[in-house]
């Protein structure tokens, strides 16, 4: 799940027509997470932020790594039990793009009967002129690397909270 993919000058959510994007980004995140647990690497790859693909060694290597990783997840019986959006997406308008943080609450199970809950987020970007959002899995982002993916984002941006816990 480490590859589930997926910032700015002056601007904030008030300058973005968020109502037109909420349904789209939440639908994208549902597709990405379902594809992850269904071992559908091509769908996951299709939503990947270009920098994620680059850091994975290019398109061919990224596809191969996704296929292998998602197959291993399926082999051990990992299943998506539920997906919720505990808070609304937060949009930030940059000079050349719109960035969004989409908080998620996911419950998964493994073949051994283990269950876990993860509060996380996806970070998405819609470049000006583009027709599709691309994403970075939020737990991979921090203050020292976020500008690699989103050069316009302020360095002091507050990221959504993340936690994981085992569930009985």
Q: Output Rg (C-alpha) for the chain, integer angstroms.
A: 16
Name the percent of the chain lying above pLDDT 90.
Answer: 77
C-alpha closest to that of 47 among 30, 63, 32: 32
pTM of this structure: 0.86
94-123: per-residue pLDDT in tens? 889 999 999 999 999 998 889 999 999 999
Residues 142 and 159 sit within 8 Å (Cβ to Cβ): yes
Which one is predicted more confidently, 11 or 137? 137
**pLDDT score of 1:** 41
Task: Supply the mean pLDDT for the chain.
Answer: 88
Segments making up each domain of the chain, as ranges = 13-167
Q: Using an 8 Å Cβ cutoff, are 4 and 140 in contact?
A: no
pLDDT at 159: 94
Q: Check if the beta carbon of residue 122 is closer than 8 Å to that of residue 49.
A: no
- pLDDT band for position 124 (50/70/90)? very high
- Which CATH topology does 13-167 take? Nuclear Transport Factor 2; Chain: A, (3.10.450)
First to last CA, the chain: 21
């Amino acid at each position: 799940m480490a590859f589930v993919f997926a910032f700015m000058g002056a601007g904030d959510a008030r300058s973005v027509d968020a109502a037109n994007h909420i349904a789209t980004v939440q639908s994208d995140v549902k597709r990405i997470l379902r594809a992850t647990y269904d071992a559908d690497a091509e769908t996951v790859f299709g939503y990947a932020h270009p920098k994620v693909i680059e850091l994975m060694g290019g398109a061919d290597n990224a596809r191969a790594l996704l296929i292998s990783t998602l197959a291993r997840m399926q082999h051990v019986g990992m299943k998506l039990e539920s997906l919720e959006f505990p808070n609304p997406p937060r949009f930030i308008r940059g000079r050349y793009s719109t960035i969004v943080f989409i908080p998620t609450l996911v419950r998964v199970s493994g073949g051994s009967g283990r269950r876990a809950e993860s509060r996380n987020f996806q970070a998405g970007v819609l470049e000006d002129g583009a027709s599709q959002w691309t994403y970075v899995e939020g737990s991979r982002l921090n203050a020292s690397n976020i500008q690699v993916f989103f050069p316009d984002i302020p360095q002091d941006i507050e990221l959504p909270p993340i936690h994981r816990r085992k569930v009985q």
